[in-house]
Amino acid sequence: MAHHAYSHDDKGHGNGHRGAPFHAITPFTMLDYPDRIACIMWVAGCNMRCLYCHNPQIVTGKGAIGEQEALAFLGARRGLLEAVVFSGGEATAWPRLAPFMRQVRAFGFAIKLDTNGLRPDVLASLLAEGLLDRVALDYKAPASRFHAVTGTKAYARFERSLDILCKQDTVPFEVRSTIHSSLLDENDILDMAHDLARRGYRGTYAVQRAIAGPDRPTLGDLPADMRAIDVARLVRLSPLDLTIR
């Protein structure tokens, strides 16, 4: 993902990079948190290996920015930023996510979590503690394609996260899918849309195309996706409002 990132300046803060949780911080965005000025904290490491992933360096690399450095960044931006988006990688795979979010909260920022849903236990406890103001959940693939797309067989865990979100109405959330036509097709998208509707999801379902190609490396070395999606068919048959990018 192209982002103008704040990076560790490597001037020697004495704590080294060992265990640094953040790959980078995008200091300013008006696109990732609806109606709020936010920064994005990119948590290094991921518990999936999606073939279309275009952030391999975040997934497999070590972090470069430590907790104290990230808190100093936020402390200096109180009153300038309104929200912090936790993305990755997969933020819920980081064991110190909850304690770190508590400190972000203490600064007065709203919090959005972007997640692949593989840690329903973490999601449930963050929700129960009131640490989340917004969630974006990636619906990677229907159960039958989940392993092939994500490299994990844990569809049941994703499913629990989806149900946890659908059964609460305190925290707004959105569901989105990233499609590369070599992995998923229109029938898969409709399967996911019907599954969402069946579970009670009433929001907009965001479908976006995967970014891939010779100059945009992916974990699975996918070619550029040249096949057009049959948008008219999707809109006609989807039980939910779709946005397709």
Enumerate binding residues for ligand SF4 (CB under 6 A): 46, 48-50, 53, 55, 59, 88-90, 116
Nearer to ligand SF4, 47 or 238 (CB): 47
Looking at this protein, which amino acid is placed at residue 101?
M
Do the Cβ atoms of 90 and 117 come closer than 8 Å? no
Eight-class DSSP state of 92: G
CA distances from 78 to 8, 74, 85, 116, 222 (A): 20, 6, 15, 29, 41
* Nearest distance from C-beta of residue 216 to ligand SF4, angstroms: 13
* Whole-angstrom distance, CA of residue 162 vs CA of residue 167: 9
Contact 137, 126 (CB under 8 A): no
The residue behind tokens 């849309």 is: 193
Closer of 116 and 177 to ligand SF4 (Cβ): 116
C-beta separation of 63 from 24 below 8 A: no
The rounded distance, in Å, linking the Cα atoms of 173 and 159 is 15
Q: Degrees (nearest 5) of the Cα angle 87, 97, 115?
A: 35
